[in-house]
Every structure is written in structure tokens, then in C-alpha cells.
Amino acid sequence: MPHHSRGGASGSITCAGPRKKIPLRKGGNRGLSNAGGSRIAPAREVSPMHANLLILPLKQASRIFCLCLSLYLFLPVLATQSHAQVAKLYPVDEALQDSSLLAFRNNLIDIALKEDTKLFKSIVHEDCKLYYLPAYGLENVDELLGREKLRKKFFSEVVSILNHGGKFVEKDKFFTSYVFACWPERLDAFTLTVVTNQNVPVYAEPDSNSNAIDSLSYDIVEMYDESFRERSGHKGWDRIKLSHGRGGFIDKEYTLSPLGLRLGFMKEEGSWGLNFAVSGAEPPSPQLKLYPEDQADRDSSFLVFRNRLHEAIENQDTVFIYSILNPKIRPTFGHGGGLEEFITYWKFRQGNSGFWDTMKEILSMGGAFINDSTFVAPYVSAKWPGIEYRPEPFAFTNVIEENVKAYEEPDSNSTVLKILSFDIVRIPRDWWKWGDWIKIILNDGREAFMLKQYQRSPTGYRAWFLKENGSWRIRFFIAGD
């Protein structure tokens, strides 16, 4: 997987040519905006009911006391209701506008309920794109339908998705579910999910007999990073973020991710057919983003260590580098590791080591703590989505600058298909054949080309820094998977 050479000081990414430096995020949430055509509403706010209490007459002191006590007891609940949701996304079903599409969809539901593989194959377009995540990228319809457990799961999901509406993206193209088709472009599809019903309770525990602490209707809600991992112990539940660091659980029957199974229908020669069935990050998909971030200032000792490492790189100070290498450090996945092997691999004694430029490049691209004593750089590797719908690291790459042009051909004079900013994009099998260019697949499924220097793979060189006995050391400095 390619990665590009870059310079610049810690805490920023230095852009090529006249471009400005792009600051790395140091925490906080990105702004949200609406996408054209989707119905999206802001979350509710709690009004400051107690703002003017102190100016009331003294004879009402007892009332004030009771009211303050009530506010003290119930404001946490009100605040939870205020901040549990990011926005709203209401159901849309434009299939009702086309009787032929409606008949096709009803027929597909019937086929899926009966698990009729013969009829199913008859409605699949010859160039239908299939990427069903539980099959790890299975692309053969016959193989998918030939596996009983997988076939049952697939058809069950098809029925569920077809009951969640959809939207025309062109006159003869229809996408379903409505959550995917109407997803607001700038919202993070990796960490958010949609409540698809009204008055859905949020529980304190993953148990419908526990206390209901909120009620949501058509809300886009944020999930905890570990939400999907927790399903091994709490299957059927999503854990969502509420205010003041509180969490709640919602029955997964009433939520739908924009990265779940997605279907596309196309009308050709007067007949509707299945054009794609994909899940996860595979295009067509919502627009996926990974923004620059640098968490180094969360630990002052690491910040001091990294600054000293910068100095050592500038001076090519091998004595300092040797002193901060973990005795078991590994230069590749195929070797046993150790100091001598690392020194030999990077040709320190020959005087022409590529270590200096490579480490400088990595340090210029921020990073993140994965626990209190481990920092991983660059941010692309440290913050790569690691959830149920995780983009396969070898099949995707990250655009690391803003306003990067994606061209129709590997030629800057060709048509610009899209402007990319920090997007996660798919790369096909022949991505590497184009010299200074890399071939990518946009989130709408179109192939395009961009300059290699503006992207980075999560499997490129990365460094793991571990704090051992109070001192920071380099534990891994490695590329690959």
C-alpha cells in the first residue's frame, strides 16, 4: 500500500506547493450540516428555567426551595433528553410514487421470504455489485446463495431493509434504505445510527426490564466506540451516548446504520432489477471521513519525549535513537525482532538510513493514544475505524488534505469528478499501475484518479510508542498488516 513523503513540524500536516498547513484536531466535535433533500432537524434544547429565581419576593422562599430541589433532581434527565440525539432523520419512501417499482419491491420481499434463489437470480443485473460484509467481500451470487446460514441471514436483512423506504437518486435509479439514501453528507456514518421508530425507549441497561431513561423518535444518535464489540455480551442492543458521560441502551430492532446492507435498483428496458447489494464501507456508501488529529498534548511527558525525538532526527543522533528502542523492537512482521536486527534493517551503520525521513514524516502527521501508556502515529493508523463496518485497511486509503481533486483520468487536464477532503476512499486491485497517480473508487461508485502524495494508507509505516517504567520508548516501527 502506498504512502507519501511529507515534511512539517509536529502538530500539523505540511501541504505540497502553496497549500496552507492543515491543523490537526485536538479534540471536540466537528460541525454538522444538512444534506440537500434530506429531512433533518436539530436536537431539542433545555431552557434555563431557574435563571431569574433570585429576584422573586422573599415570601416565596419555600416555593423557590422546592423548585430548586426539583431542578436538582430532574435536570439530569432533561439534559439527557436534550443531548441524546444529534439530529433527526425522518422516514422517506419514494417507491410509492412509481407503481412498477412498488410491484418489483413487493416481489423481491416475497422472493426473500421464500428464499427463492432461482427467482432472485432472475432479477439480478448481469453487472450487479455484491459485497455482503458477513461473507468478507463475497462477490459471487451463486456462492452467497449456496451457503445456507449466509443465505438465510442475507434474505432476512433484505426483507428488513425493504421495509425501510428509500429514495430516487435518478429517474431510473432507486436506493434503499432511506437511512442510506437520505444520509446527511457531513455526518459521521461510522459512529452514528438512526432510530427508525417513534417513542423508542432508551434503557439504563441492555435489558427492557431496566429503567427507561429517555425516549427517542427518528433521532440520529451517537454510539460508543466499543458499542459493536459489546454485542458479544449484549447482542441485540446498541449503546448510545447521552449527556454528562452517561450511556444508554436501545434495542437494535429500532436502529439502522447507514453502513448496513444497502440495495440499489435500476430500471433497464422497462424492467427493474437489482443493481447492487453492499454493506460496510464498500461503495456505493455514505461519504466517509477521517480527519487529522494529534493527541500528544494529553500527556506532557510524551510531548517532551516527542520534541526530543524531533531534535534527534534533525541531528541524526543514533545514540539517542538506540537508547529509546525497546529491546524487542521489530522492523517487519517477518522477523524475530531485536535491537541488532532493527539497526541492520534500517542501515544505520552505512550512514544512508531511510529511518530519519520516514520517522519525520510519521511524526508530522499527529497520532492518538490507544491507552494511557501507548501512543500510535500517524493518526491515519491510530484512528482508523475499528468497528463492525470497518473499512478493510488494504482496500481503502485516506485523503489527508482538503480540496483534493479526483480526476476522470490520471491527468490534471482531465475532468474533475469530485473534490475530496479527508475522505476514506476505496482502491481497486489495479490502484498501483498509474505512476504518480492512484486509482480510487468514489463513494458513489465511480472510478477516479488522484495524486498519490495526497493520500495515506493505514498500513503504511507507523510507530508505537510505549511508556515503560516512566520512560517512553519505540516498541514498533513497521509497515504492513
CA-to-CA distance for 220 and 240, rounded, in angstroms?
Answer: 10
- Residue 405's beta-bridge partner residues? 419
CA-to-CA distance for 258 and 183, rounded, in angstroms?
Answer: 7
Residue 433 in grid coordinates: 499501475
Closest among 184, 431, 173, 161 to 287, alpha carbons compared: 184
Residue 198 in grid coordinates: 417513534
CATH code at 447? 2.30.30.40
Number of C-beta neighbours around residue 140 at 10 A: 10
Judged by phi (left if over 0) then psi (alpha if -120 to 50, else beta), residue 137 lies in left
Instruction: State the sign of the Cα–Cα–Cα–Cα dihedral 57, 60, 62, 63.
Output: negative
Query: At a CB cut-off of 8 Å and minimum separation 6, what does 304 contact?
Result: none
CA-to-CA distance for 311 and 132, rounded, in angstroms?
Answer: 48
Calculate the dihedral angle through the C-alpha atoms of 359, 364, 369, 373, rounding to the nearest 10 degrees. Answer: 40
pTM beyond 0.85, yes or no: no
**Same domain for 401 and 274?**
no
Q: Does the residue 297 lie in any domain?
A: no
Residue 312 is predicted with a pLDDT of 97
Contact 214, 236 (CB under 8 A): no
Q: Write down which residue in 279, 297, 313 finishes a domain.
A: 279
Contact 192, 40 (CB under 8 A): no
CA-to-CA distance for 396 and 423, rounded, in angstroms?
Answer: 10
Q: Does the residue 344 lie in any domain?
A: no
Q: Does the residue 300 lie in any domain?
A: no
Question: Phi and psi for 262 in degrees, rounded to 5?
Answer: -130, 135
Q: Does the residue 163 lie in any domain?
A: yes
Residue 9 is predicted with a pLDDT of 36
Residue 354 in grid coordinates: 531511510
Closest among 357, 348, 350, 304 to 329, alpha carbons compared: 348
Burial (Cβ within 10 Å: 0-12, 13-18, ≥19) of residue 25: middle
Residue 334 in grid coordinates: 517477518
Question: How many angstroms from the chain centroid is the CA of residue 355?
Answer: 31
CA-to-CA distance for 421 and 443, rounded, in angstroms?
Answer: 13
Task: Tell me the mean pLDDT per 10 residues along the chain, length 481.
Answer: 40 36 49 40 40 43 54 41 68 95 96 94 87 54 82 92 95 95 89 93 92 92 64 73 80 93 94 92 91 96 97 96 92 80 92 94 95 96 82 91 96 96 92 93 94 95 94 92 69
Q: Write down which residue in 263, 279, 295 finishes a domain.
A: 279
Domain count, the chain: 2
3-state DSSP percent of the chain in helix, strand and coil, to 5: 30, 30, 40
Residue 61 is predicted with a pLDDT of 53
Residue 255 is predicted with a pLDDT of 94
**Same domain for 139 and 271?**
yes
Q: Does the residue 113 lie in any domain?
A: yes
Q: Does the residue 149 lie in any domain?
A: yes
Q: Where are the alpha helices (DSSP H) in 86-225?
A: 99-114, 117-122, 141-146, 148-162, 178-181
| Strands 462-468 vs 471-478: parallel, antiparallel or unpaired | antiparallel
CA-to-CA distance for 76 and 57, rounded, in angstroms?
Answer: 28
Q: Does the residue 286 lie in any domain?
A: no
Contact 443, 287 (CB under 8 A): yes
To which H or E segment does residue 194 belong?
A: strand 192-195
Residue 266 is predicted with a pLDDT of 96
Residue 83 is predicted with a pLDDT of 44
Contacts made by residues 39-43, CB under 8 angstroms, sequence distance 24+: 39/88, 39/89, 39/90, 39/92, 39/182, 40/87, 40/88, 40/89, 40/184, 40/220, 41/87, 41/88, 42/87, 43/82, 43/83, 43/84, 43/85, 43/86, 43/87, 43/88, 43/219
Query: At a CB cut-off of 8 Å and minimum separation 6, what does 414 contact?
Result: 407, 408, 449
**Same domain for 40 and 173?**
yes
For 210, the domain range is 31-47+57-279
Q: Does the residue 6 lie in any domain?
A: no
